[in-house]
Structure 1
Amino acid sequence: MSGLGDRILGLGLLVLAVAYGWTAQQWPEPFGGAEGVGPETFPTILSVVLVAGSLYLMVKPDPDAQWPLGKTALELLISLVVLVIYAMLLEPLGFVIATTLAVGTLSWRMGARPVRAFLTGLVSAVVVFVLFNYGLDLSLPAGLLEVS
């Protein structure tokens, strides 16, 4: 039965996508009424893309897929742990600090020198923070950098 692993992964991702999209729709309406772009917009878009990708995996799996072993599997596990820790630190540390640490760590694990990796993390975090907070008027958590 070729492609069984892809189908199982696709089913798991589909469940995750539906739960994620449903949770995004449960957020309270922002003060002042409904708007075209609100806090649920970006997670909803992500869930739709994830649904499409998971359905593709289930309908058209790779017949020759090889699950990673050894060092590659370890790197994937490290990436997963970094992303879970990132989600846990996002509110208390704030978007810029948490994203700098996560992107820097992932870049470093992919082979970048540590200084360049964390500089990339910092620049990308600041650019995305400014884009979302000021360009799209969607607040990201400031955390430790919040000005009272």
Structure 2
Amino acid sequence: MTYNDRIFGVLMIVLAVAYGWGATQFPEPFGGSEAVGPETFPLLLAVVLGLSSLYLIVRPDPDNAWPWSRTGVELIIALVVLVLYAMLLQPLGFIISTLLAVGTLCWRMGARPVKAYVTGGVAGVVVFLVFNFALDLSLPLGLLSFLEVS
């Protein structure tokens, strides 16, 4: 049944449009003349998601089935983790939220808990440093705001 991929593709196109629209709602940075603003990366993700979704609609997998077993439960857990990640990003900050989200997802995929959360912590710190210092794009510090250098 090829309807599963097509239904999923339509849902993901709706998500891509909503995500892209949300990205355009970011306030313009001071000066407003930057080529790369806060909306650039989310818009890029929305375009990639939209194109991938169109592919699912046009060329669905002929042999697919909804994963109603353990895989389906793991997908629901991953979705809940990602929604919580988005909700906690501002109050907890990027590093702590990423540590928790990546750590939990790694653990659910079979990594030992300590290694999973160390991976999440390292990912959070490395990506934070790249965005703040290499790309000059600030990410929220949240609970770690005492580390902010003025």
After TM superposition, the score normalised by the length of structure 2 is 0.95
Q: Does 1:16 align with 2:15?
A: yes
Q: Does 1:64 align with 2:63?
A: yes
Cα distance in 1 for residues equivalent to 2:125 and 2:70: 32
Aligned length: 147
Cα distance in 1 for residues equivalent to 2:9 and 2:107: 29
Structure 1: stretches of 5+ with no match in the other structure: none
Alignment partner, residue 137 of structure 2: 138
The offset of 1:85, in angstroms, is: 0.9
Q: Does 1:107 align with 2:106?
A: yes
Structure 2: stretches of 5+ with no match in the other structure: none
Cα distance in 2 for residues equivalent to 1:9 and 1:44: 20
Q: CA RMSD in A?
A: 1.0
> Runs ≥4 in structure 1, deviation > 3 angstroms?
none
For the Cα contact (< 8 Å) 2:12–2:50, is it kept in 1?
yes
Cα distance in 1 for residues equivalent to 2:74 and 2:35: 39
The offset of 1:33, in angstroms, is: 1.6
After TM superposition, the score normalised by the length of structure 1 is 0.96
Cα distance in 1 for residues equivalent to 2:129 and 2:86: 20
Sequence identity (%): 65
* Residue identity in the other structure for 1:137: D
The offset of 1:26, in angstroms, is: 2.1
* Residue identity in the other structure for 2:66: W
The offset of 1:67, in angstroms, is: 1.3
Alignment partner, residue 48 of structure 2: 49
